[in-house]
Amino acid sequence: MSDSGKIQFVSVVVPVYNEEGCLQELIDRTVRTLESTGIRYEFIMVDDGSRDRSAEIITAAADRHPDQVIGCILNRNYGQHAAIMAGFSFCRGELIITIDADLQNPPEEIPRLIEAADLGNDVVGTVRQHRRDTLFRRTSSKVVNYFARLATGVKMSDYGCMLRAYRRRVVEAMLQCNERSTFIPVLGNSFARNTCEIPVAHAERAVGESKYSLWKLINLQFNLLTCMTTIPLRMLTYFGLLTGFCGFLLSLYIVVRRLLPSGDAWANGGVFTLFAVLFVFTGVQMIGIGVIGEYIGRIYTDVRARPRFFIERIVGRKSAD
């Protein structure tokens, strides 16, 4: 970094999975934007086990722009966040910017993230303006943002937007974390001293469809909550205390009703009330077992310490500095 503190070298990391329809446009627009900054850069595309021509397009672009456009080809699909960590593992920039490949976050916003980082911010988040997503995705995003703020203590509005910038020291700290389930925006903020958010444009998906079905989105939101906080366990404890207290009140009510003159008639139907209470407690127990099992499963996965990803080959990299 220069004496003025300005960023001199930027790495842009993009996870790619079956994006052949818009990938060439992404490459052209991103390279053009990075060239306009006048800053040294590398544009790293991580192919996350694509089954279309994405890897071929990445390889061709790396051949045309050696040491500027770099392809990282994974041997299979590992997921968005694991693919980004793969890009982090060999990027060289002072500032590392992540962006999705679907062009919903315009690459033309990248210079604004660099400007915000130049002000001394370790992490630069973004807030999507006039989002073009479905109601379900917007609602689930609000839920995740709420729990992310509780988990990190950093009040950012839009943790779901992957258009973000991280100082190298933050990325190096993330690479030292060994957990398999990683939510990069939350993990990055946990190591940042200074953070900020800037508004960015949000576009319709130009080609293809989202890789996340309704069921995958539900699984994703649950995984994100359990990998970044123990709040579900705490809520389960509070809920258990509440149901226990309600059960005590119900027992007291049943005793009082039996002592009243009209208690005999009511007591004949009391068995149904008891069944209802039993079902409630059984449901609470099953939920508790499921939540605890989720955390135990994550412990089991982390203890095995298997690699997050396996890089098959890297194309376009000329030098090792």
pLDDT tens for 241-288 read 777 777 777 777 766 766 666 655 554 456 656 666 776 777 777 777
Which pLDDT band holds residue 236 (cuts at 50, 70, 90)? confident
Q: b/e for 14-31, b at 16 or more Cβ within 10 A? A: bbbbbbbbbbeebbebbb
Look at residue 164 and tell me whether its pLDDT is greater than 80.
yes
For the chain, the distance separating the N- and C-terminal CA atoms, rounded to the nearest angstrom, is 15
Q: Which of 168-182, 215-229, 281-295 has the lowest mean pLDDT?
A: 215-229
What is the residue-averaged pLDDT of the chain?
Answer: 80
Rounded CA-CA distance 260/247 in Å is 20
Write down the pLDDT at residue 2. 42
Q: Which of 131-140, 219-228, 258-267 has the lowest mean pLDDT?
A: 258-267
Give the position of tokens 């940042």. Answer: 192
Whole-model pTM: value is 0.75
Rounded CA-CA distance 225/194 in Å is 24
Per-residue pLDDT averaged across 4-21, rounded? 89
Rounded CA-CA distance 290/296 in Å is 10
Rounded CA-CA distance 270/4 in Å is 78
Helix (H) / strand (E) containing 50 = none
pLDDT digits (tens, 9 = 90+) for 66-84: 999 999 999 999 888 889 9
Which pLDDT band holds residue 4 (cuts at 50, 70, 90)? very low
User: 41 forms bridges with which residues in the sheet?
Assistant: 10
